[in-house]
Amino acid sequence: MSTVAAISTPDGVGGISVIRISGSEAIAIAANVFRGKISPEQMESHTCCYGKIIKDGKIIDDGVLTVFREPNSYTGENVAEISCHGGRFVTRQALRAVIQAGAEPAGAGEFTKRAFLNGKMSLTQAEAVMDVISAQGEQALNSAANIREGKLFRKVKEVSDGIVKLAASLDAWVDYPEEDLPEAEPEQLMFHVEHFVGSLEKLLEGYDKGRILRQGIDTVILGKTNVGKSTLMNCLVGYDRSIVTDVKGTTRDIVEESVRLGGLTLRLSDTAGLRETSDPVEKLGIDLARKKAENAQLIIAVLDGSQELDGQDRELLELIRGRKAVIAVNKSDLPVKPDIQKLREFSPYVAVISAKNDGGLEQLEKAVEEMFLDENFDPGADCYINERQKFCVEKSLTALKETLEGIRGGITPDCTAVSLEQAVGPLLDLTGERVSDTVVAQIFSDFCVGK
């Protein structure tokens, strides 16, 4: 494999940037661009050295070189890491120097791919690295780290081992008819299979929670016109994202933004105010808002607290009944008119806020956390699975449910054994214990540059 290099810290962020070089020539290439007290070729593994970074014979920066020798490195190959002084320009110059010296630019996810190929990490660990890189917020980072430590791996393995064991007991009974082995009772088989189904379904629940952590909560702000939806959005975002005017119907399309609220990320959509209108463009916007609301994970229903509820407000409240929603009673700087107790019939979460003055936002935060970070939601203890993993778990679940159906219908044990094996396969795909020729490609196409 060739020697590759990339900037492995976020582009232009932070005081220090790191250029990672990996491959058999990594250290020789580093020696070409880095002059320190000791020649990089002489450096022992896991040592670092201060020195100058050279490009075209000129010093472009000073920094620190760290050397890892194979196989004891992240990728399992020789690795050299040059830390330089951040800044987009300097860092790019340094990378260019490294490439001039013979390294190839690393492809997406290349370092992690090499680590996986060199047996340095399992498939689930490799995927978790990707999630760490793109993790939003502390909660997600914890959960991603758990997967990398092998937590998901262990949980899935528990189930797949269980299925293998059950299939093996069936096989033994079939293969040794003369050994007086206990008969495989359908009830008992079903009991075990149901247990596996339960475990996998729990993992699937983790998918939704995991998505919330990784990608944020799909949130839509709804309300009739001019109750302060855009003001609330701007207040959450921290700057004017939506155009705020006194003219009703200013927001016609959907404005989207990710914001942090407590430990969670909300993917906010501000929408057109709900009202009867003859303006075809505004009507389109309102339809879009309703549609958005149907698929959202969270609705923030904004009411104007200075006004009595009218028909449109009631319509909105009916819309959120039974959904995950916070009723934000805005304009708390003015006397609050609606009956808060009555509002709770539509959603238990009511926050009285003043979007204009950033007032009452903590109530909103508390409501959202209560809704999404329930008692069982412990990012330290649970693992949250991603899209590919979910696909594998679902495939396995389908096979297990077919197994159950088969046993109930009186199918013969040879078929039960086959459908059990059918359930194990996808789990082995998930953990990377079995490789089909497509799975590797599929995973690595998802990786972002760098690590």
Partner 1 sequence: MGLMGETGETLENYDVVVVGAGHAGVEAALACARLGVRTALFTISLDVIANMPCNPSIGGTAKGHLVREIDALGGEMGKAADRTFLQSRVLNRGKGPAVHSLRVQADRVRYHDYMKRAVESEKNLDLRQGEVTEVLADGKTVCGVRTRLGAEFSAKAVIIATGTYLKGRIHVGGNSYESGPDNVMPAGKLSESLAALGVELRRFKTGTPARVHRRSIDFSKLEEQHGDSSIIPFSFDQSGEKLENKVICYVAYTNSETHRVIRENIGRSAMYGGQIHGVGPRYCPSIEDKIMRFADKPRHQLFIEPMGLDTDEMYLQGMSTSLPEDVQIEFLRTIEGLENVEIMRSAYAIEYDCCDPTQLLPTLEFKEIKGLFGAGQFNGTSGYEEAAAQGLIAGINAAAAVKGGKPLVLDRASSYIGTLIDDLVTKGCTDPYRMMTSRSEYRLLLRQDNADMRLTPTGHEIGLISEERYQRFLAKKAAIEAELARIRKVSVSPGEEMASYLKSVGTEPITVGCKLWQLLKRPQTSYRGLGFADPERPELSDDVAEQVELTIKYEGYIDIQLRQVEAMRKLEKKLLPPDVDYSLIRGLRLEAAEKLNKIKPLNVGQASRISGVNPADVSVLLVWLGRKGG
Residue 441: in which H helix or E strand, if any?
A: helix 439-444
Nearer to partner 1 among residue 165 and residue 342 (C-beta): 165
366 binds partner 1 (CB under 8 A): no
Cβ distance 273 to 227 under 8 Å? yes
**Can you tell me which of 57, 119, 322, 335 binds partner 1, judged by CB under 8 A?**
119
Residue 123 lies near partner 1 (rule: CB under 8 A): yes
Candidate list 16, 38, 59, 168; residue touching partner 1; CB under 8 A: 168
CA-based max dimension of the chain: 87
- List the alpha helices (DSSP H) in 14-122: 26-33, 88-100, 110-117
Is 145 a binder of partner 1 (CB under 8 A)? no
176 forms part of the interface with partner 1 (CB under 8 A): yes
Residue 412 interacts with partner 1 (CB under 8 A): yes or no: yes
Piece of the chain touching partner 1 by CB under 8 A; list 25-33, 133-141, 173-181, 264-272: 173-181
The C-alpha atoms of residue 163 and residue 193 are separated, in whole angstroms, by 8
**DSSP annotation of 200:** H
Hey, what are 347's tokens?
């959603």
Pick between residue 333 and residue 394 the one whose CB is nearest to partner 1. Answer: 394
Coil/strand/helix, residue 86: coil
User: Side chain identity at 115, as an amino acid letter?
Assistant: A
Binding to partner 1 (CB under 8 A) within 219-278 occurs at none
Q: Does 211 bind partner 1 (CB under 8 A)?
A: no
Cα–chain center distance at 119: 24
Q: Does 152 bind partner 1 (CB under 8 A)?
A: no
Report the 10 Å Cβ neighbour count for 51. Answer: 21
Q: Is 179 in the site for partner 1 (CB under 8 A)?
A: yes
Q: CB under 8 A: which stretch of 167-175, 230-238, 330-338, 352-360 binds partner 1?
A: 167-175
Quick one: 384 or 447, whose CB is closer to partner 1? 447
In the complex with partner 1, the residue whose CB is nearer, 168 or 340, is 168
Going by C-alpha positions, the residue among 298, 322, 327, 326 that lies closest to residue 208 is: 298
446 contributes a contact to partner 1 by CB under 8 A: no
Of 10, 12, 24, 378, the one binding partner 1 (CB under 8 A) is 24
- Does 171 sit near partner 1 (CB under 8 A)? yes
Phi, psi of 330 (to 5 degrees): -90, 170
Does position 432 interact with partner 1 (CB under 8 A)? The reply is yes
Total length of the chain: 451
Residues 89, 13 contacting (CB under 8 angstroms)? no
Least spacing, CB of residue 164 vs partner 1, in Å: 11
Contact 444, 136 (CB under 8 A): no
Which residues are near partner 1 by CB under 8 A?
1, 24, 114, 116-119, 123, 168, 171-180, 409-415, 417-419, 421-422, 432-437, 440
